[in-house]
Amino acid sequence: MFKRQVLLECISALLILLFVYASLSKFLDFRTFYKEMDNQPLPNSWTPVLVWVIPCTEVAISVSLIFERTRLLGFYSSLVVMGLFTIYTGIVLAHFFPYVPCSCGGVIKRLTWTQHLALNLFFVGISIVGVVIQSRKRFQTISITKQNKNSFV
């Protein structure tokens, strides 16, 4: 139980590390990020929305992973976001687009698309582990609470 809890904290920490770093890097070099979003194969009218939605979502996921009550939601959100990034990377690697510039913050932009895919898959994997452990933990807590209630009756 203790080991599982430590593992859960480590997974949360890794995801927080990724999302806080990625969002802050985008905000710190916002103009470059804006132009890079403009160069994505998406309608340019989406750019003003996406440049705020993406980093803000990353911050929101980080915050939700800190608190016990919102952690499961944080793991699910992380899984969805990393899943979407992974699909996007896969599409790029499949040469679906003629060219797509990297739109990642900080040192992550130095990675090749294959390395990107590996990194994304790793974070998808730990998000799944997080969802499973956190769900079991929640289920156990609910079961214990119900048992306690029944024993009083």
Partner 1 sequence: MKKIKATILSLAVVFSVCAAFATKPHWTCTTLPQYWYNGVGYQPVSQFYGCMQGSTTCTYYTLNGGITYSPCAVGTYNNCPSCAVETPNSAPVNTAH
List interacting residues with partner 1 (CB under 8 A). 2, 5-6, 9-10, 12-14, 16-18, 20-21, 24-25, 28-29, 31-32, 34-36, 38-39, 47-48, 62, 66, 98-99, 101-102, 105-107, 109-113
- 57, with CB counted inside 10 A (0-12, 13-18, 19+), is middle
Least distance in Å: CB of 67 to partner 1?
10
AA identity, residue 70: T
- What b/e string do you get for 92-112 counting C-beta neighbours within 10 Å, with b at 16 or more? beeeeeeebebbbbeebbeee
Give least dist CB 24 to partner 1, A. Answer: 4
Q: Is 48 helix (H, G, I), strand (E, B) or coil?
A: helix
What is the smallest separation between the CB atom of 140 and partner 1, expressed in angstroms? 15
What's the min distance (Å) between Cβ of 42 and partner 1? 15
Residue number, 106 or 125, with CB nearest to partner 1: 106
Judged by beta carbon, residue 115 or residue 135, the one nearer partner 1 is: 115
Asked if residues 133 and 7 have their Cβ atoms less than 8 Å apart, the reply is: yes
Alpha carbon 95 to chain centroid distance? 24
Indicate the residue among 10 and 87 with the shorter CB distance to partner 1: 10
Q: Which is nearer to partner 1, 32 or 70 (CB)?
A: 32
Place of tokens 């990724």: 18
